[in-house]
């Protein structure tokens, strides 16, 4: 694989990363209360991207393309998980509002720990079949004929992971600093509930699409 091919692949990944998706909204929601947990979610998402790359490298991801039924159920599972994240985040926001928590005090309970953020980010990406299909459709084009398929797939996976982690970490930090700057409990509540609703809506859309396919 040439340097030009690697740069072209990195550019494609950058374009896809800055396009808002489930991982972006998930990291945004988590980072509003704790930026380090948001960064952990970004790390989980990046790590899961490497797992998908490995699956493509050993040929397991090809099963998604060959088995429409498996793709359908995996898609529904990912949608249900997103729906769960959105609803649970909304419930936590309501409980915090009723308890009089404004999200700015030093003793504010944190809905997500770093470990929980890491797990949420990883599961969100692992249960998103579109990530696997992206690798399945794009990665083979950058693997030289007769070359090391597994090694090349992992290299490309690392490129995806680094770009995704950098972008999502930036989203986490900017989101938290923006909320610290505003320091308005009502605004924080609206943003948290809106992002939770978007995650839930994305989940519903994925479930509906999977059920109808």
Q: What is the CA radius of gyration of the chain?
A: 18
pLDDT at 104: 43
- Residue 181 resides in a domain: yes
- For the chain, the domain total comes to 1
- Residue 12 resides in a domain: no
CB 85 within 8 A of CB 124: yes
Contacts by residues 63-68 (CB-CB < 8 Å, ≥ 24 positions apart): 64/129, 64/132, 64/133, 64/136, 65/133, 65/136, 68/213
pLDDT along the chain (213 residues), means of 10: 78 76 85 88 94 81 66 70 73 68 44 87 86 74 69 87 93 80 62 70 69 66
- Residue 71 resides in a domain: yes
pLDDT at 108: 44
Question: For 26, what's the count of Cα atoms within 13 Å in the CB-facing half-sphere?
Answer: 28
Q: How far apart are the first and last CA of the chain?
A: 36
> Which whole-number Å values give the CA distances from 29 to 114, 129, 212, in the listed order?
13, 22, 29
Give this prediction's pTM.
0.68
Secondary structure of 78-113 as H, E, C letters: HHHHHHHHHHHHHHHHHHHHHCCCCCCCCCCCCCCC
- Residue 52 resides in a domain: yes
Q: Name which of 51, 84, 74 is nearest 210 in CA terms.
A: 74
- Residue 18 resides in a domain: no
pLDDT at 93: 67
The two structure tokens encoding residue 125: 């990406």
Distance (Å, whole) CA 162 – CA 164? 6
pLDDT at 43: 96
CB 135 within 8 A of CB 61: yes
Residue corresponding to tokens 């529904």 = 76
Distance (Å, whole) CA 35 – CA 171? 9
- Residue 2 resides in a domain: no
- Residue 4 resides in a domain: no
Domain span at 172: 23-212
- Residue 166 resides in a domain: yes
Distance (Å, whole) CA 42 – CA 121? 6
């Amino acid at each position: 694989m040439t340097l030009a091919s690697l740069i072209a692949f990195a550019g494609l990944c950058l374009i896809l990363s800055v396009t808002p998706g489930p991982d972006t909204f998930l990291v945004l929601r988590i980072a509003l209360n704790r930026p380090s947990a948001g960064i952990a979610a970004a790390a989980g998402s990046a790590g899961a991207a490497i797992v998908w790359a490995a699956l493509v490298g050993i040929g397991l991801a090809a099963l998604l393309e060959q088995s429409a039924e498996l793709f359908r159920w995996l898609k529904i599972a990912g949608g249900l998980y997103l729906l769960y994240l959105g609803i649970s985040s909304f419930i936590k926001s309501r409980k915090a509002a009723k308890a009089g928590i404004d999200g700015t005090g030093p003793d504010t309970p944190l809905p997500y720990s770093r470990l929980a953020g890491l797990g949420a980010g990883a599961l969100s990406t692992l249960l998103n079949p579109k990530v696997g299909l992206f690798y399945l459709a794009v990665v083979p084009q950058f693997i030289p004929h007769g070359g090391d398929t597994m090694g090349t797939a992992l290299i490309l996976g690392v490129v995806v992971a680094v770009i995704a982690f950098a972008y999502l970490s930036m989203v986490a930090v900017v989101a938290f600093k923006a909320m610290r700057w505003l320091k308005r409990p009502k605004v924080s509540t609206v943003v948290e509930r809106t992002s939770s609703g978007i995650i839930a809506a994305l989940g519903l859309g994925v479930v509906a699409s999977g059920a109808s396919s």
